[in-house]
Amino acid sequence: MAAIAAEKMRRAEIRRPWLAMAGVCLALGAITSTIFAVKSSWDRDAARHQALLAQRVNAFLTIDLLSRTNPRVSGIADETLIEAAERAEADVSARFADDPEIAASIYAALASAFQARTAYGPARIASDNGVRAYRSLEGPNSPRAAILRLNRASMEAYIHTPETLKTANQIVAEEERRLPELRARRAEAEVALHIAKGAIAMGVADGTTALAEFQAAQRLAAAAPDSLDADGRLRLRYREAQAQIMLYHYADAAKAFADVAADQLARHGPRFADTLTTQMQEAEALGEVGDSARALQLINAIYPAMTEVLGSTHSSVLAALEVRGDALMALGRFAEAAKAFQTLYDAAASTGSANPMFVVDGLAELGHAKCRGGDTKAGLDTVARAASAAGSNFGVRSSVAAGVAAIQIECLIKAGQFAAARQALSVVDRDAANAVLPDSYAGESFDLYDAAVAHALGDDTNARARLAPLLKFFAGGTGNPYHRRWAGELAVALAPVQN
């Protein structure tokens, strides 16, 4: 069956190039079918039923969906994958009115595929349709509906806006109350619950809670092997490594990402979406431990495949642009970094409201690169735009807004506006900013800014005190190379004059 589907996909790719990206979505659909379908512990009749179910679901996702890419069928000359899937979804309820289980399984697969393409609006619709279908089949306490909703909660949490985090929390609270009523597949629902809670914690920059929730999910999955498939376990290890980044455990994170990527390469090869995303995160962790050259080398190696497999506006591709820009900034290649951040901003802005975090990051880091490159007027103007976007999308008291404020402070220092920088340092929410700044330890940027401003305003005693933890940390040869160079220059300037 898989071989036949693969051959149909290969032929379809020849007909329309964008279908090369469909493999990721249909692969994720197959994963969803695995999660919601065949379990080796079921008896023979149940297994036969699930095999027929999987066959009909796969037939819909391959034959029906791919047939819509033929203009004679769709009536559209250049239809995108998302458009074709949305059109196909509209027929599900009528086509499978007599079998809500098939309809629900298709909706679940489409929700996963839409999410993989960062098409969040269609993902929500498909998820809601799947939940209704599962509940019509299994009742209000449907375990498969609960799992589908918890997967939706994880998606909402990773979008990372106040509204989507609120939605994620609401879903988690509702499904946690239902959990004791679940008669079947409770272990799967508990795993999904912990993953969703971890995603919410990541969304509010709580690395400690996120790591604890992901580890709890891992323990439950180990105790109930049928609760998560092999790829799901790899993605859970990936999430644990993400939490390690948030906790400044960069070396541990880099190793964890490398290990996960190696397993994904062995299972799926170098052009699998999860493999590429994990390698992107490995590059980020390498940059954070100060190995910006290796980080840049890795990103440059995988970026072409990422854009081909995922598309230029996919969230993982946007993240790769940010990692590339950060590495170039650390290496002092500010003009190249500015180009990377401009590309990031343009791509994120083109998606409308789908990627507000990357819109803010793109603008803020573009201004940051301009300031470090010497064009402080343009840099301050660009960072001001980022501050406005951060306030409107996340709130003026959010960690995102505080992170942008930190970049504004550095730009003021680079512009020689030291009194204004000192005033800004006195009011910025440092704890909130530390939650999002890519520092090697909490407060690294502010120690550097405090030292630079104090020295510029003649308070060298305070400057030396603020510089001391930086010099101690950088003595190990790790950390942001740009910060390390700046701290070294300040140390020279503050050294006692030898008679």
Q: What is the mean pLDDT of residues 148-168?
A: 93
- CA 323 – CA 334 distance, rounded (Å): 14
Residue 107: C-alpha distances to residues 75, 124, 228, 343 (Å) = 24, 10, 19, 34
Confidence of residue 36 (pLDDT cuts 50, 70, 90): very low
Tell me the whole-structure pTM to 2 decimals. 0.74
End-to-end CA gap in the chain: 84
Residue 149 pLDDT exceeds 60:
yes
Q: Which residue has the higher pLDDT, 44 or 413?
A: 413
pLDDT over threshold 50, residue 330: yes
Tens digits of per-residue pLDDT, 333-369? 999 999 999 999 999 999 887 788 899 999 999 999 9
Name the residue type at position 198: G
Degrees to nearest 5, angle at CA 303 with 279 and 22: 90
CB atoms within 10 A of CB 419: 11
Separation CA 492–CA 424 (nearest Å) = 26
CA distances from 45 to 48, 54, 370 (A): 5, 14, 66
Q: How many CB atoms lie within 10 A of CB 304?
A: 9
What is the model's pLDDT at position 34? 34
Span 159-211, pLDDT tens digits: 888 899 999 999 999 999 999 988 788 999 999 999 999 999 998 889 999 99
pLDDT, residue 58, reads 60
Nearest-10 Cα torsion for 315, 30, 37, 153: 10
Out of 69-73, 313-317, 490-494, the most confident range is 490-494
Residue 133 pLDDT exceeds 50: yes
In the predicted structure, residue 251 carries a pLDDT above the cut 70: yes
pLDDT at res. 107: 85
Per-residue tokens: 361? 């990051």
Burial class (CB in 10 A: 0-12, 13-18, 19+), 418: middle
Residue 17 is predicted with a pLDDT of 26
| Cβ pair 251, 289 in contact under 8 A | yes
Token pair belonging to 250: 């960069």
Query: Hey, is 235 helix, strand or coil?
Result: helix
Distance (Å, rounded) from C-alpha 152 to C-alpha 494?
A: 54
325: amino acid identity, one letter: G
Share of the chain above pLDDT 70, in %: 81
CA 69 centroid distance within chain:
30
CA pair distance 216, 408, nearest whole angstrom: 39
> How many residues make up the chain in this entry?
499
Q: How high is the pLDDT of residue 444? A: 92
Helices (H), 37-77: 44-59, 65-67, 71-74
DSSP-based three-state secondary structure for 161? coil
Distance CA 225, CA 485 (A): 50
pLDDT at 12 over 50: no
What is the average per-residue pLDDT within 93-119? Answer: 79
The better pLDDT of the pair 172, 90 is held by 172
- What's the pLDDT score for residue 132? 92
Separation of alpha carbons 92 and 342, rounded Å: 41
CB contact set of 351 (below 8 Å; sequence gap of 6+): 118, 313
Beta carbons within 8 Å of 149's beta carbon, 6+ residues apart: 127, 131, 171, 174, 175
Compute CA distances 304 → 254, 334, 342, whole Å.
22, 22, 18
Q: Name the band, by pLDDT with cuts 50, 70 and 90, for residue 268.
A: very high
Segment 423-433, tens digit of pLDDT: 999 999 999 99
Residue 499: its pLDDT value, please?
53
| Mean predicted confidence (pLDDT) in 315-339 | 95
pLDDT of res. 73: 37
- For residues 412 and 231, which has the higher predicted lDDT (pLDDT)? 412
pLDDT in tens, 370-400: 999 999 999 999 999 999 999 999 999 999 9
- Tell me the HSE value of 359 on the side-chain side, using a 13 A CA sphere: 21
More confident residue, 311 or 372: 372
**Is the torsion defined by CA of 84, 85, 90, 95 positive or negative?**
positive
CA distance 229 to 34: 8
| Token code pair at residue 380 | 């301050």
Look-up of token digits 């990527």: 261
Q: What pLDDT does residue 184 have?
A: 82
Specify the pLDDT at position 285. Answer: 93
